[in-house]
A and B are shown apart, each in its own frame.
Chain A
């Protein structure tokens, strides 16, 4: 099979732009997911969950750093700049991922919602795993290698969210109501999650992402199976803004302001 190296892609403008379209989505989803996870530090339901979410968040940011690192090698600028300095309209994460953990602010009266956090993270994990499984067969070698590696870690994230989903579904009436409420709310934000955006068919025909349709189908099947097992309604995913096209909500600007506050003080500083 033909495999493209960094140089093969960096020197071909069409391949370079296409590969970047996919990498922005992967990198931005994981960066924002990791950021939202980290906002739970010190606030998670119990101490062991604090440790777990700290770890998961660190891994999400680490995965984002790997994707941004590939973009850096393709000549798009340094990974740190790409993570911290790009504007809202340049971001390609799903609007689901940018939504806050709940009302309030992490420094002041946070009234974060655990069920919402878990449902959102679960959907992210199912989508990324479906996508990465296909990307192990990508024509772009560094992306295939990254997918192979990250998949092995992601299955632990998914196992963790699934454990929480089952726990909340069966624990008591209160946890059940919270889970159902979060599940219903998530469907109004998740419409752009399992969407590769305007370049979807080009990504497939170039071999960058093999079998886009089956990735999307696999994602929906897995979510539907979870709904069936837990007795939750079928999720009808929709969204007003589409993050894959650079359309975002106010929540993203707020997140980026906090995320890059220190970096923007002096982008040339050596940390």
Chain B
């Protein structure tokens, strides 16, 4: 099916800030409509002010235009269904961990160290290098690390 092919192509688009995690696994892809003439993809912003949105939108558009040269391609960010951190897939959570970023827990206190897996971690700063991340310290392996904010 066409929509499945679109989803496969979107698997190759990573978050510019965390390139090893695809936007599909981050749960940012909403409705996909595709027929012979047009491909329409709705994306969901993780954080409204995230400056990576435009880059992601451009990358998705470019990839889809390459794959469907005769179709009209429309890619837009929508808020009708808000993105929440439980949309991140199992694969996405694993990929985040591999990138040294703890996947979001149920709350700010529910964070496992991505390096040693221990849960004796301390929130150091709610706000990290990007909107979606906080800074933590692992009291067990003594490493600082970043964690995805629950939203």
Q: Name A's B-contacting residues (CB within 8 A).
A: 48, 51-56, 58-63, 65-66, 141-142, 145-146, 148-150, 152-153, 156, 159-160
Contact = CB atoms under 8 A, between A and B. Distances in A.
Given A48-B125, A51-B129, A60 B82 contact: no
Given A145-B80, A146-B79, A149-B79, A51 B51 contact: no
A149 B82 contact: yes
Contacts of B47: 59, 62, 153
B73 to A, nearest CB: 21
A62 B51 CA distance: 8
16 contacts: A48-B135, A52-B126, A53-B127, A59-B48, A62-B50, A62-B131, A65-B49, A66-B79, A141-B80, A142-B79, A145-B82, A148-B79, A148-B82, A152-B151, A153-B47, A160-B127
Given A149-B79, A149-B82, A152-B82, A61 B49 contact: yes
Interface residues of B, number: 22
Given A152-B151, A156-B126, A63 B48 contact: yes
B127 A52 contact: yes
A15 B49 CA distance: 27
Interface class of chain B by DSSP: loop
A61 B131 CA distance: 12
Given A60-B49, A148-B79, A156-B126, 18 more contacts: A48-B124, A52-B127, A58-B51, A58-B131, A59-B47, A59-B48, A59-B49, A59-B131, A62-B48, A62-B49, A62-B50, A66-B79, A142-B79, A145-B80, A149-B79, A152-B84, A152-B151, A159-B126
Interface in B19-66: 45, 47-51
Contact of A51 (B49, B84, B128, B151): B128
A135 to B, nearest CB: 13
Nearest to B51: A58
Interface of B: 45, 47-51, 79-80, 82-84, 124-131, 135, 149, 151
A146 B48 CA distance: 9
Closest 4 CB pairs of A and B: A62-B49, A52-B127, A55-B127, A59-B49
B116 to A, nearest CB: 23
